[in-house]
Amino acid sequence: MKKVSKKIILNFLILLIFTFSALLIFGYIRIRVSFPVRNGKIELKGIKDKVFIYFNEYGIPFIEAKYLEDAIFAEGYLHAQERMFQMDLLRRAATGELSEIFGEKTFKVDSFFRVLGIKRIAMILKDSLLPIEKKILESYARGVNAYIEKRKGQLPIEFLILNYKPEKWKIEHSLAIGRLISWNLNLSFKGDLLFTKIKNRIDTNKIKDYLPFYPPDAPSQIEEIPKIEEKHFKLLKKIEKFIPQFYASNSFASSYPPLLENDPHLDLTIPANWYLLSINTDSLKGVGFSIPGTPLLISGTNWDIAIGVTSLQLDDGDFIISDLNNLKIIEEKIKIKGKGERKIKIFIKDNMPLVDKKNKLFYFWRSNLISHEIYALYKLYNSKNVYQADTALRYFRSPALNFIIVDKEGNLLYKACGWIEKRKSFSIFPRKEVPSEFLPDSLLPKVINPYSGYLVSCNNPPLKAYPYYISLFFSPSGRARRLNELLKNSKNITLKNFMNFSIDIKDEYAKIITDYILKIIKNIPMEEKERKIYEKLKNFDFYIRKERGEPLIFYRLIYKIFENYYKKKNLGEEIYKEFLSFAYIPLSVLENNLREGKIDEYVVIKSFREVCEEYEGQKYGKYHKVKLFHPLSIIPVIGRFFKLKEIEIDGSLTTINKMGFKLENPFYVTEGPSMRMIVDLENKNFYYILPPGQSGVLFDKNYSDQYYLWISGRYLSLFPFKVKNKLILKPSE
């Protein structure tokens, strides 16, 4: 009997091992066939002539094509073969179709975007396209669809896990993703809700104490108040889980030599937010970063000019109170995985969706207005100098961006592009009148060839004396102060300078705040431990290093001030949570309040003593770690394969090399430089880093091969371009 039992157990173990091995082999083969093809020849419908694509060891492609349509087709094909799941997720988010793959938990997110109307906006934009825009978008869509058709059973593993296939790509999908990016840059929706909620709680005269006015010494480049319901904030939290957020950016340029740097600060995601490529064709030449799902390049160069972008931080949305007469009713169906369809009704008035029926609130979003970004980018990359670039950018309005441009002759251009309203001051939510008058291109903020010989854009105000209202939501002034200081004090600007500036970790914001705090606490009686911590702060050089304790002390101190002053004394638990979750706005508010002496000295002293009592000598890096996010990394067991190692890192929310964390969840780094780029026009070279890597296909060799280089602050040189692989796309006969 024992022998029989042993035999059964042995057979079972053999079967188990065989089954497990078979699953591993199947999984390996299934993942392997989804890898991008970078060698050989592929016959495809939709192109006129051969397209040659060369790849370097990091998977960066160099496209050579005879015709523009073929080059853009190739861009669409490459985006799809390396980022198809990312593209489809962005498309679904924009058009309100996430529930089709995620089920009930994203229904409210889908409902919100259906009401906002990005899908409707995309269709309006489609009907308004200029001929060259339509040609580019159609070519791109053909390239994406050629991949979907060619690789039906070889899609990335995410499609297998979620058990669905991407639908045919349409030009309105690319337009929708463009408007989704505009939405991600929109701080005014949450800002208006929050400030109104604060205004309902505190003395009306004190509302300005909570508005993030930009410091006056920093460098620049209603009657009816409804009660704001908590459901709006809960919905925004859900949206943020599924939609990558855009925060801030650096871009700076010099005349002599003509150099440009750019590093947009976005949610750090797997795969990367950007896709780097080079295009060489009959009517378009350029090297730069593109957004998967959309054609052309954004930041980059055509070797005559170099282009960098940052967010203008434009206040580009308004809540409008109106009656409920003459509403247009739209009924839409949202597919829910495993549960069929659910109908929702959308109410429209004067092209504005009704977002709060109880309070009769409509939302006016300027990205509803028609603009021509595809044409602007096409013209921009055909510009020979900053003057032609200025003309090209008159067609660019959404998303609202700052463009920093230098040409090979050393001319500099700063230009703000967006729907800036013709008004002098901000308005606290809500408004009764619908915005109707916007500035023409000739009145948008612009600087050509500043006397300094350099330009800096860190999401700070464009011009100090600009007569029209742009925003309250500019970034804290520390990055702009530090970059201006570095450039101003550099006797000779060099490429090495630019590389070092981009990874600088001295925190001017921390210095400003610490100076205010030290003035308050310097003469108070202190115990030995308090005196030691005081001396640490007094001698702090404000370089935010992971092995130091001072950065941790500083952040814990401002958190205590937040808690003791804003939470306990003024806002209460509920509003405080929303205030703290509002990106970097609380940091600006804190600086204003300390500068103007509005925070009681008692609060600062109490906070200091509490920090001293709790601090046990920990280092900043124990808590400050990079954490990249993949949409499927939250899935039990399977999710671990999509994750990368968490690593201690230097930098902070307000250093040039921004390594930011959500204030409500310190200190995990979830946003920062989503790429770094330096263009050297004099020597015709391009330096880059793209975390975690170019490819979005799990286990592909280029999936995370730039991660540790990015962590260490290194750059890769694109030229001379060392060919590792060669792919030829051929028209099928």
pTM, whole model, 2 decimals? 0.93
- Alpha carbon distance 675, 693 (integer Å): 10
**Which domain CATH number covers 459?**
3.60.20
Q: What's the pLDDT score for residue 500?
A: 97
Of 476, 497, 525, which one is at a domain's C-terminal end?
476
- Does residue 313 lie within any of the structural domains? yes
**Can you tell me the mean pLDDT for 35-60?**
97
Q: What's the pLDDT score for residue 236?
A: 56
Residues 6+ apart with CB under 8 A from 616: none
Quickly list DSSP for 680-715: ETTTTEEEEE-SS-S--STT-TTSSTTHHHHHTT--
- Does residue 85 lie within any of the structural domains? no
- Alpha carbon distance 584, 475 (integer Å): 7
pLDDT > 70? residue 226: no
Of 416, 447, 476, which one is at a domain's C-terminal end?
476
- Does residue 439 lie within any of the structural domains? yes
- Does residue 6 lie within any of the structural domains? yes
Residues 6+ apart with CB under 8 A from 646: 625, 626, 627, 668
Q: How confident is the model at residue 29 (pLDDT cuts 50, 70, 90)?
A: low
Query: What residue type is assigned to position 611 of the chain?
Result: V
Q: Using CA atoms in the order 358, 360, 366, 370, what is the torsion angle rounded to 10 degrees? A: 110
**What's the mean per-residue pLDDT of the chain?**
91
> Coil, helix or strand for 337?
coil
Buried b (16+ CB within 10 A) or exposed e, 548-574: bbbbbbbbbbbbbbbbbbbbeebbeee
How many distinct helices (H) and strands (E) make up the chain?
21, 25
Q: How confident is the model at residue 407 (pLDDT cuts 50, 70, 90)?
A: very high
- Residue/partner pairs of 481-486 with CB below 8 Å, 24 or more apart: 481/218, 481/219, 481/508, 482/506, 482/507, 482/508, 482/655, 482/656, 483/250, 483/252, 483/456, 483/458, 483/656, 484/219, 484/456
Sign of CA dihedral 138, 144, 147, 151: negative
Q: What's the pLDDT score for residue 222?
A: 37
- Does residue 582 lie within any of the structural domains? no
- Does residue 232 lie within any of the structural domains? yes
Sign of CA dihedral 667, 308, 81, 120: positive
| Element of type H or E holding 85 | helix 68-95
* Helix spans in 426-571 (H): 478-488, 495-502, 508-521, 528-538, 550-561
Report the domain count for the chain. 2
- Does residue 159 lie within any of the structural domains? no
465: number of Cβ within 10 Å: 5
Q: What's the pLDDT score for residue 223?
A: 38
| Element of type H or E holding 405 | strand 401-407
Sheet holding 352-356, edge to edge: 317-321, 361-365, 352-356, 340-349, 328-336
How does pLDDT run across 458-487, given as a tens digit for each residue? Answer: 999 998 889 999 998 899 999 999 999 999
Of 438, 458, 476, which one is at a domain's C-terminal end?
476
| 665 or 322: which leads in pLDDT | 322
pLDDT > 90? residue 196: no
How does pLDDT run across 337-376, given as a tens digit for each residue? Answer: 999 999 999 999 999 999 999 999 999 999 999 999 999 9
pLDDT > 90? residue 301: yes
Q: Are 121 and 179 in contact (CB under 8 A)?
A: yes
Measured in whole angstroms, the distance separating CA 672 from the mean position of its chain's CA atoms is 9
Q: What is the largest CA-CA distance in the chain?
A: 96
Q: What's the pLDDT score for residue 491?
A: 85
pLDDT > 70? residue 233: no
Domain range for 27 is 1-32
**Can you tell me the mean pLDDT for 516-526?**
96
pLDDT > 80? residue 623: yes
- Alpha carbon distance 397, 42 (integer Å): 38
- Does residue 212 lie within any of the structural domains? yes
Q: Are 351 and 363 in contact (CB under 8 A)?
A: no
Q: How confident is the model at residue 296 (pLDDT cuts 50, 70, 90)?
A: very high
Q: What angle do CA 533, 538, 540 make, to 5 degrees?
A: 90
Q: Are 657 and 503 in contact (CB under 8 A)?
A: yes
